[in-house]
Amino acid sequence: MFFASDNGGPAHPAVMAALARANDGHRMPYGVCDWTDAAVALVREALDAPGAEVHLVTTGTAANALCLAAMSQPWQRIFCSDIAHVLDDEMGAVTFFANGAEMAPVAHTDGRMAPADLFARIAREDPRRRGPVSVTQVTEAGTVHTLGHLAALVAAAGDLPVHLDGARFANAVAALGCTPAAMAAGMTAVSLGGTKNGCLGVEAAVFPDPARAHALWARRKRGGHVLSKTRYLAAQMVGYLEHGLWLETAAQANRKTARLAAALANHPDVTLAHPVDANIVFARWPKGLHDRLRAEGAQYYLMEDGANRPADAPLLCRLVCDWSVEDAAIDRLLSLLHAG
């Protein structure tokens, strides 16, 4: 019963097979190889951005920090929601990579900034300090922006460049039923996730217009993110994107999550904290129930300290399904929930 994270599951066999194919003979290092060319071509094709600059890195934090560093000046502020991963969970990586650029948080509802709030926050800022905007899709609250909402955020940003933290890009595409290119429309840069959805560890920092990717290779190298054996990152990305695997695994993760969320929503002691649009559920249930689930081996994140709380105190829990979660695990969790 593993629902702690979509980073906890195995890599997809097709990704492993691509790695095995790549593990043959010699190649020029540092991304000068056929595997990197193939991965870049597939990313460009997926986003319908034939000239895009594509950089493969090992973490979402690196992709975000490198993208935003290339989009900002050290004296600027970067606008994002007040629960953005780039703000809350990356130990200041963006500010570090961007030589001191600061974050400017904007209030969120269910993980999404209102375009009017973003516009107002930008308007309040000294024009010289107005830097890029970062939007997360799927949001940190597990919701998905509609294409209209994304377009409204891009419009609210005006002339400022917009970055999409797409650590769960494929889950959002699968949820919206749109094309990947439609979701990237208007974005100056996209962090395109792979790790949470079937890869071992690869993310792409993508600039559809390469003219906006100021010195990204040098920033990557300076930051220790140019792998000599880039071929193995590239092979993962090839296995992930070719034949549409990424959209299949994402749709599967979303389907499992929808099943879990629907059953949770029907339980009298459970309240969903946010709408469930993709593969993340936030829900509250009593500490007594939580203790019982934990004792039976259920793994998920507790979002608040449960120590010394009474048994009926509701606790905020986060459950995530990756592509490999089995129905049997969901069945078991649900039967435990109903057994009390």
> Which positions lie near ligand PLP, rule CB under 6 A?
59-61, 64, 85, 136, 140, 165, 167, 195
* Residue 140 or 277 with smaller CB distance to ligand PLP: 140
Cβ at position 284, least distance to ligand PLP in Å = 21
* Residue 64 or 95 with smaller CB distance to ligand PLP: 64
Cβ at position 193, least distance to ligand PLP in Å = 7
Cβ at position 86, least distance to ligand PLP in Å = 7
* Residue 314 or 324 with smaller CB distance to ligand PLP: 324
* Residue 134 or 252 with smaller CB distance to ligand PLP: 134
Pair of tokens at residue 134: 């970062």
Cβ at position 7, least distance to ligand PLP in Å = 7
Cβ at position 225, least distance to ligand PLP in Å = 11
List, in sequence order, every residue forming a beta bridge with 206; answer none if it has no partner.
54, 190
Per residue, the 3-state secondary structure of the chain, as one string, reads CECCCCCCCCCCHHHHHHHHHHCCCCCCCCCCCHHHHHHHHHHHHHCCCCCCEEEEECCHHHHHHHHHHHHCCCCCEEEEECCCHHHHCCCCHHHHHCCCCEEEEECCECCECCHHHHHHHHHHCCHHHEEEEEEECCCCCCCCCCHHHHHHHHHHHCCCCEEEEECCHHHHHHHHCCCHHHHHCCCCEEEEECHHHCCCCCEEEEECCHHHCCCHHHHHHHCCCCCCCHHHHHHHHHHHHHHHHHHHHHHHHHHHHHHHHHHHHCCCCCEECCCCCCCEEEEEEEHHHHHHHHHCCCECEECCCCCCCCCCCEEEEEEECCCCCCHHHHHHHHHHHHHC
* Residue 59 or 271 with smaller CB distance to ligand PLP: 59
Give the strands of the sheet with 280-286, arranged side by side. 271-272, 280-286, 314-320, 301-302
* Residue 136 or 314 with smaller CB distance to ligand PLP: 136
* Residue 65 or 238 with smaller CB distance to ligand PLP: 65
Cβ at position 112, least distance to ligand PLP in Å = 13
Q: CB neighbours (10 Å) of residue 317?
A: 24
Cβ at position 81, least distance to ligand PLP in Å = 11
CA-closest candidate to residue 73, choices 105, 104, 106, 95: 95
Give the nearest residue (CB) to ligand PLP.
60
* Pairing mode, strands 130-136 and 162-166: parallel
Pair of tokens at residue 205: 């920092």
* Residue 64 or 72 with smaller CB distance to ligand PLP: 64
* Residue 42 or 190 with smaller CB distance to ligand PLP: 190
How crowded is the C-beta side of 211, counted as CA atoms within 13 Å?
0
Cβ at position 90, least distance to ligand PLP in Å = 7
Cβ at position 82, least distance to ligand PLP in Å = 14
